[in-house]
Amino acid sequence: MASKAAAKRLGKEYVNMQKEPPPFVWAAPDEKNILIWNFIIVSALRCRVSELLTPGVAQRGPPDSHFDGGEYHGVIMFPPEYPFKPPGIKMLTPSGRFQPDKKICFSMSDYHPGSWNPAWSVATILTGLLSFMLSDEMTTGSVSSKESDRRAFAAKSHEWNIGQKKFRDAFPEYSAPTMKNLPNMGERERGKPDEPEPPTTSSEPPPLPAGLTPAPAKTSVGTKTLDRPMDKTGWAVGLRQILVERWRWGALIAVALVVSRLSSN
C-alpha cells in the first residue's frame, strides 16, 4: 500500500505526464494500485520514400536504432516509500535487448538504491531507460542478440502487444490493429518549436469573451462622474446644474443674513 507521500507524489507525476509527456514514452498508473505503472516506449519508424516526399511526415522515435518501428510495453513497480526508494522495472514486450518480464538493472532501478535520487520522476526514469535501451551496455536483465533479430522483434512488437490482455487493459486506446502515435513523438526535439505570435501594435483593445460587453466610458465633470461619453450637450447640462446649485446656496445665505439682522434689531 502506498504511503501518503508516495500517493501524493505519483498523483502529481501523472498530472505532469498528461501535461508534458517526454518524447517517445508514455505511462499511466494501474487503476487499482498507484504503485504499479504501465509504460510504452517507441522507437523510430523509417519513412518510406513516398512518405519522405510528403511534407509534415515525421519519424517515430530516435532514428538509426535497431528498434525502428518498435513499441515496447513494460511496468514500473514503485515501493511504498517512493520517492525515497527506487522502483523495479520490467519490459514485457520481446525486444532482443531485455529479457521479457525480468527486472532490469540500471542506475535508476532498485538494483542501485545508493545512486537513487528522490528528485527523479517517472518521466526521468523512462527517458533514462530509453537511453539505456539504445546503448550496448550489458547488465542483469539484458540479452545479447543480432541486429536482424531486434528488427524482427520491432516489426512484430505491436501485434504481440495487442495480443496481451495486460496491454489491452492498460492501454485500450493503443490497442487498435494499427500502431498509434504517442502524445509526444519528438516533433519539438527534432526541430524548432512554433514561434509565438508577435504582440499586436494596434490601439484597439483585444476582443472580449462571448457574453461579455465592454463597460461604458466614464468622464468626469467637476466632481461628478458620468457613465457616458460627454458631448457638447452634456457639457451644457453639467454647467447649468453647477450654476443652479451655486445660485440656490447664494439665495439661502442671503435669506439667512436678512433673518439674522431682523432678529438683532
Q: Do 240 and 142 lie in a common domain? A: no
Mean pLDDT check: name the lowest of 114-123, 128-137, 180-189.
180-189
**Structural domain includes residue 118:** yes
Q: Do 163 and 231 lie in a common domain? A: no
**Structural domain includes residue 119:** yes
Last residue of a domain, one of 170, 190, 210: 190
pLDDT reading at 133 higher than 50: yes
Q: Do 41 and 113 lie in a common domain? A: yes
Q: What is the DSSP letter of 66?
A: T
Q: Do 144 and 183 lie in a common domain? A: yes
pLDDT for the residue 261 = 60
Q: Do 45 and 115 lie in a common domain? A: yes
pLDDT for the residue 218 = 43
Q: Do 120 and 239 lie in a common domain? A: no
Structural domain harbouring 151: 4-190
Q: What mean pLDDT comes out for the span 191-195?
A: 46
Q: Do 160 and 248 lie in a common domain? A: no
Q: Which of 150, 149, 171 is nearest to 73 (CA)?
A: 171
Q: Quick check: 133 and 67 in contact, CB under 8 A?
A: yes
Kindly report, residue by residue over 156-185, the tens digit of the pLDDT: 999 999 999 999 999 999 999 999 999 998
Number of Cβ within a 10 Å radius of residue 141: 20
Compute the Cα dihedral for 86, 91, 97, 102 and give only its sign: positive
Share of the chain above pLDDT 70, in %: 63
Cell numbers standing for residue 195 = 514561434
Cell numbers standing for residue 258 = 436678512
The secondary element (H helix, E strand) that includes residue 239 is helix 232-264
Q: Which of 42, 28, 11, 13 is nearest to 171 (CA)?
A: 28
Q: Do 182 and 224 lie in a common domain? A: no
Q: Do 114 and 170 lie in a common domain? A: yes
In the chain, the number of structural domains is 2
Q: Do 38 and 80 lie in a common domain? A: yes
**Structural domain includes residue 245:** yes
Q: What mean pLDDT comes out for the span 85-96?
A: 98
SS (H, E, C) 85-99: CCCEEEECCCCCCEC
Q: Do 90 and 168 lie in a common domain? A: yes
Kindly report, residue by residue over 7-66, the tens digit of the pLDDT: 999 999 999 999 999 999 999 999 999 999 999 999 854 433 333 334 444 444 455 688
pLDDT for the residue 198 = 41
Mean pLDDT of the chain: 78
Compute φ and ψ for 116, nearest 5 degrees: -70, 140
Residue ranges with strand state E in the chain: 25-29, 36-42, 71-77, 88-91, 102-103, 219-221, 224-226
**Structural domain includes residue 204:** no
Task: Give the chain's length.
Answer: 265
Share of the chain above pLDDT 90, in %: 59
Number of Cβ within a 10 Å radius of residue 60: 21
Catalytic residue among 105, 134, 230, 242: 105
Q: Quick check: 71 and 42 in contact, CB under 8 A?
A: yes
**Structural domain includes residue 108:** yes
Cell numbers standing for residue 112 = 542501485
Does the N-terminal peptide bond of residue 216 adopt cis geometry, omega within 30 degrees of 0? Answer: no
Cell numbers standing for residue 19 = 501535461
pLDDT for the residue 123 = 96
pLDDT for the residue 43 = 82
Q: Do 75 and 113 lie in a common domain? A: yes
More confident residue, 231 or 148: 148
**Structural domain includes residue 230:** yes
pLDDT for the residue 87 = 98
Clarify whether 105 is annotated catalytic: yes
The CATH number given to whatever domain includes residue 174 is 3.10.110.10
